[in-house]
């Protein structure tokens, strides 16, 4: 209820917001609204190699491309397309059974987080495939595949974790991918590399 007998005081917020600028001062430049973009964040680019979109006479790629160590092995001719596909299939199995990632810069894997019989059965079947691969390849090659294909670590970091140089780590990862493809194709699996400490005779 309005009080009577006095003037009505009103405030114009528009007038307050539109205060005139001092004479001779440049008018403020309005800030444009933030535009959504698919450009990878700085944090993501610190952990992954990415290529900018390319649209020219040689390529028509309108999106950013994440280049993995596995892709690098294919480009260098260390593995062929079938072996690359086999490793990509193994990586999909590992992502399906791994815990959800929480890093904001990491790649999010699309899968249902609601428990149901179909999802549980699929994860059990995938885990069985991974166990079969682990039994056939051995712990060292599975560890190499995990660091190279699943986690996409640098060759130097993989080598440091195994006590070998980066070149040897790259060679062993390529050999592990080849062994994986052979097992998935029903072919004989080559012998696993022998991991020696640096101070042992014949160590690499």
- What is the percentage of the chain residues whose pLDDT exceeds 90? 45
pLDDT-wise least confident of 30-34, 81-85, 131-135: 30-34
CA pair distance 52, 36, nearest whole angstrom: 16
In this prediction, residue 119 carries a pLDDT of: 74
Q: Which residues pair with 61 in a beta bridge?
A: 54
CA pair distance 2, 196, nearest whole angstrom: 90
In this prediction, residue 124 carries a pLDDT of: 87
pLDDT band at 39 (very low <50, low <70, confident <90, very high): low
* pLDDT at position 63 over 50: yes
What does the mean pLDDT of the chain come to?
75
Task: Name the more confident of 201 and 129.
Answer: 129
Give the global pTM. Answer: 0.62
Kindly report, residue by residue over 155-198, the tens digit of the pLDDT.
999 999 999 999 999 999 999 999 999 999 999 999 888 776 55
Three-state SS across the chain? CCCCCCCCCCCCHHHHHCCCCCCCCCCCCCCCCCCCCCCCCHHHHHHCEEECCEECCCCEECCCEEECHHHHHHHCCCCCHHHHHHHHHHHHHHHHHCCCCCCCCCCCCCCCCCCCHHHHHHHHHHHHHHHHHHHHHCHHHHHHHHHHHHCCCCHHHHHHHHCCCHHHHHHHHHHHHHHHHHHHCCCCCCCCCCCCCCCCCCCC
pLDDT band at 9 (very low <50, low <70, confident <90, very high): very low
Task: Name the more confident of 34 and 165.
Answer: 165
């Amino acid at each position: 209820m309005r009080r009577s007998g006095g003037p009505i005081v009103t405030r114009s917020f528009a007038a307050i917001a539109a205060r005139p600028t001092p004479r001779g001062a440049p008018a403020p430049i309005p800030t444009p609204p933030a535009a959504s973009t698919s450009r990878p964040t700085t944090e993501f680019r610190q952990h992954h190699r990415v290529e900018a979109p390319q649209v020219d006479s040689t390529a028509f790629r309108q999106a950013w491309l994440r280049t993995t160590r596995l892709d690098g092995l294919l480009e260098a001719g260390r593995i062929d397309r079938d072996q690359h596909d086999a490793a990509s299939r193994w990586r999909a199995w590992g992502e399906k059974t791994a815990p959800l990632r929480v890093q904001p810069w990491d790649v999010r894997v699309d899968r249902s987080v609601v428990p149901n019989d179909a999802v549980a059965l699929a994860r059990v079947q995938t885990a069985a495939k991974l166990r079969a691969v682990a039994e056939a390849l051995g712990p060292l090659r599975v560890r190499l595949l995990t660091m190279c294909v699943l986690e996409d670590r640098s060759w130097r970091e993989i080598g440091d974790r195994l006590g070998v140089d980066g070149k040897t780590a790259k060679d062993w990862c390529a050999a592990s991918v080849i062994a994986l493809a052979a097992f998935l194709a029903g072919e004989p699996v080559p012998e696993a590399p022998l991991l020696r400490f640096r101070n042992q005779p014949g160590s690499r």
